[in-house]
Amino acid sequence: MLKLGRKRAEKLEFGIFTLPILISIIAVFYYPFIMTIRYSLTKWNGISKHPKFIGLDNFKQIFLGDTNFTNAAWFTVKYAILYIVLVNVIAILLALVLDMKLKTTAWLRAAFFIPYILSLVIVGFIWKFIFMQGFESLGESTGWGIFDLSWLGDPNLAFISILLVSIWQSVGFYMVIYIAGLQSVPDDLKEAATVDGAGPFRRFFSITLPLLAPSITISVFMALTNSIKVFDVILSLTGGGPGGTTYSVAYDIYRDTFQNNLYGYGTAKALILFVAVLIITVIQLTIFKRKEVEA
């Protein structure tokens, strides 16, 4: 009887301490998500008290007649693929260099990580000034034609500018993840491979890279979710220009919802983005976790 009473008391105590957290999660996440599903089925300007229920019309219009959403989705896909590949490759290379015992290792690690502390909105405004005025001054002083290009006025260059700024801001974070992964690789394996005659490239691809699989899984997952939801750097750097060629899906949602007052339509797009991110990340994690086991 005493054991039963003690178990009930422990369960009651557990419920008392977890109930506020559960209520907070329901209020902050689940209730807004349910309301998002509700508003995605309506025509609503965000002001009227009674949204007009229109069923799946918003989704039909998005998939069948919204060229802006199609172009934004294509931009996001291109950006995500290039960002994931480049930021992880550069981060691994930097981690390999900064994992060596150099005198300036600590300073270099801090220098590469500091941009990640800054908000992408602030970074976007800083680089906008550099592209528009800094490059002009550099072009006049050096005479190099690369500084005279319209980095934010040409659609292709604007895409490259967004990609470069995003990588510059975040590569330090992924570098830290890979440095932690490299430090967990046993030295005796490297020494044994060296004794067997394996060169640096063979040691990297046969020993280091397979053991970096958990770090790669985390980094690719975070790069994937961040790239699909890219918004702030576009808002501050190009504003979606020139001519709407740098609209991402998230920026297109912001434009429809808060600039055009199409709250129901924008909510439907947001729900599509949520489902897309969920499906893609689940597939990515499943594939990479399987590779970890194989490695």
pLDDT of residue 89: 94
The pLDDT score that the predictor gives to residue 153 is 87
Flag whether 112 is in a domain.
yes
Residue 5: the pLDDT is 65
In a domain, 209, yes or no: yes
Give dist(CA 215, CA 232) in Å, integer: 26
Which residue range forms the structural domain that includes residue 220? 34-294
Give the per-residue pLDDT at 77. Answer: 93
Count structural domains, the chain.
1
How far, CA to CA in Å, does 145 sit from each of 56, 131, 136, 139, 160? 51, 13, 10, 7, 17
CB 93 within 8 A of CB 241: no
pTM for the whole thing? Answer: 0.87
CATH number for position 101: 1.10.3720.10
Rounded Cα gap, residues 190 and 208, in angstroms: 8
Spatial contact of 228 and 117, defined as CB atoms under 8 Å apart: no
Residue 224 sits at the vertex; the CA angle it makes with 222 and 227, to the nearest 5 degrees, is 105
Query: Which one, of 207, 272, 295, lies nearest residue 72 by Cα?
Result: 272
What pLDDT is attached to residue 158? Answer: 92
What pLDDT does 203 receive?
A: 80
Domain for residue 28, yes or no? no
Is 9 inside a domain boundary? Answer: no
Q: Would 18 be classed as within a structural domain?
A: no
8 in any annotated domain: no
CA dist list (Å): 175 to 59, 171, 190, 227: 40, 6, 21, 17
- Structural domain includes residue 52: yes
* Residue 234 in domain: yes
Mean pLDDT by 10 residues, the chain (295 residues): 66 81 87 87 83 88 87 93 94 88 83 88 89 84 82 89 93 92 81 74 81 88 90 89 88 89 89 90 84 57
Provide the token pair at 117. 């502390």
Cα–Cα separations (whole angstroms), residue 163 to 61, 85, 143, 159, 175: 30, 11, 25, 6, 17
CB–CB of 79/156 below 8 Å? no
**Token pair of 63 as six digits:** 């998939």
Give the per-residue pLDDT at 4. 56
